[in-house]
């Protein structure tokens, strides 16, 4: 029975609440039994002086001022300037609060006091606040502070230093309209440096720096946007970009688009070579014959044939030599490669008058090489047997 009374005792219940870290519950139990001093003492033991003072204020304790002063001194003695500043801010002593926030390394809170409560402070203290914000790397916050204080030129400088370009541009539109274009370009440059290429595009457009806008679009692989930007530029500017765009579409096998942009770039040969490599012979002929005279594209066929020949692609080399009306060069491919069946096939088709002589020369060559069976075949075909 005694034990039960002990558990039900309000002081025991308050103590249990404290042990369970339910401090407000403990406070409520004690105040319910008019134990004001004990509730305050509980918080003081926990070094929660502000909670203790709240009780004193709420209950109109006669020593509330003394409690506040003791608490403030304790905060200063324990180097809790930021907490002490909050106390002074709540009391409306803004000048002291500002000084303490600065001493506690919280310039943003000091700036907030100045701007929120429209506190008039000496110029040297304004400089301390802005200097502390800047030294802490809080350039955007410094810009906000200067703007609220209507020191707009310094606000602009701070925004730019902090790369807060949205605020800088907004301020420029209102106060420094001639700066907007430059800021848009700087914003784009900053985004590029941060690898945010796609976001930089429109800022360059706003600045009228179209070469940077196009390059950003290309590097961000925003091909449609790049085309939109390029097509509005004069040819001397657009051609290199069209070539880059065309190469992309060639790589992804959208050959019709690639052709279009190669043509816009004046790169007719590149369009032709693209189709050749893709075995699109009709398209290759159509594009090259449309834009180059026959004498030039005939030479081009020969050049392409030689590339194929060097790569060992004799079939396509033959095709290109014949397209250039150079059957002798095609025949020579197979002679050098000792692919005599193909050689004879072409001689039969294009140099029939030399067919017998060709068989005889081949027969003699093969005879010397000891390839008697093949030599016999060509001697017979050449009529020399």
Task: Give domain limits for the chain.
Answer: 1-78, 81-175
At a CB cut-off of 8 Å and minimum separation 6, what does 23 contact? Answer: 17, 42, 43, 46, 48, 51
CA dist 2 and 22 (Å) reads 26
At 234, is the pLDDT very low, low, confident or very high (cuts 50, 70, 90)?
A: very high
pLDDT at 302: 86
pLDDT at 2: 40
CA dist 112 and 115 (Å) reads 5
The answer to whether the beta carbons of residues 265 and 250 sit under 8 Å apart is no
- Lowest-pLDDT range of 203-217, 221-235, 243-257, 293-307: 293-307
Query: Is 119 buried (19+), middle (13-18) or exposed (0-12) by CB count in 10 A?
Result: middle
CA dist 318 and 71 (Å) reads 99
Say whether pLDDT at 56 is over 70.
no
User: What is the pTM for the complete model shown?
Assistant: 0.62
Report the pLDDT averaged over residues 264-290. 90
pLDDT at 117: 74
Provide the token pair at 314: 């004799």
Q: What is the mean pLDDT of the chain?
A: 83
The fold of 81-175 is: 1.25.40
Say whether pLDDT at 171 is over 90.
yes
At a CB cut-off of 8 Å and minimum separation 6, what does 108 contact? Answer: 133, 136, 138, 141
The answer to whether the beta carbons of residues 183 and 169 sit under 8 Å apart is yes
Q: Which residue has the higher pLDDT, 120 or 366?
A: 120
The answer to whether the beta carbons of residues 257 and 249 sit under 8 Å apart is yes
Report the pLDDT averaged over residues 112-116. 79
């Amino acid at each position: 029975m005694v034990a039960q009374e002990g558990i039900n005792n309000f002081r025991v219940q308050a103590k249990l609440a404290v042990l369970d870290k339910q401090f407000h519950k403990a406070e409520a139990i004690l105040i319910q039994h008019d134990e004001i001093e004990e509730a305050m003492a509980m918080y003081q033991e926990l070094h929660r002086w502000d909670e203790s003072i709240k009780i004193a204020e709420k209950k109109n304790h006669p020593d509330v001022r003394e409690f506040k002063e003791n608490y403030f001194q304790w905060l200063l003695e324990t180097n809790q300037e930021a907490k002490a500043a909050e106390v002074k801010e709540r009391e409306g002593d803004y000048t002291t609060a500002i000084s303490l926030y600065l001493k506690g390394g919280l310039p943003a809170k000091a700036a907030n006091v100045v701007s929120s409560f429209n506190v008039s402070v000496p110029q040297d203290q304004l400089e301390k606040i802005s200097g502390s914000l800047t030294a802490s790397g809080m350039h955007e916050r410094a810009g906000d502070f200067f703007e609220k204080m209507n020191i707009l030129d310094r606000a602009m400088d701070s925004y730019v230093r902090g790369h807060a370009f949205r605020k800088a541009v907004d301020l420029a539109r209102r106060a420094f309209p001639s700066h907007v274009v430059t800021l848009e370009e700087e914003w784009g440059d900053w985004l590029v440096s941060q690898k945010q290429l796609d976001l930089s595009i429109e800022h360059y457009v706003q600045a009228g720096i179209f070469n940077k806008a196009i390059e950003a679009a290309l590097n961000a692989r925003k091909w449609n946007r790049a085309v939109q930007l390029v097509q509005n530029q004069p040819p001397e500017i657009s051609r290199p970009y069209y070539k880059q765009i065309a190469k992309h579409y060639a790589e992804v096998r959208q050959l019709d688009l690639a052709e279009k942009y190669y043509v816009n770039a004046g790169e007719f040969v590149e369009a032709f070579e693209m189709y050749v490599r893709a075995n699109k012979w009709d398209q290759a002929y159509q594009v090259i014959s449309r834009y180059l005279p026959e004498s030039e594209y005939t030479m081009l066929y020969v050049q392409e044939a030689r590339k194929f020949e060097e790569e060992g692609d004799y079939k396509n080399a033959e095709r290109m030599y014949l397209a250039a009306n150079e059957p002798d060069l095609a025949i020579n491919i197979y002679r050098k490669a000792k692919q005599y069946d193909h050689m004879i096939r072409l001689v039969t088709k294009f140099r029939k008058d030399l067919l017998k002589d060709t068989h005889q020369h081949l027969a003699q060559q093969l005879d010397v090489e000891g390839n008697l069976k093949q030599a016999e075949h060509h001697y017979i075909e050449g009529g020399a047997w």
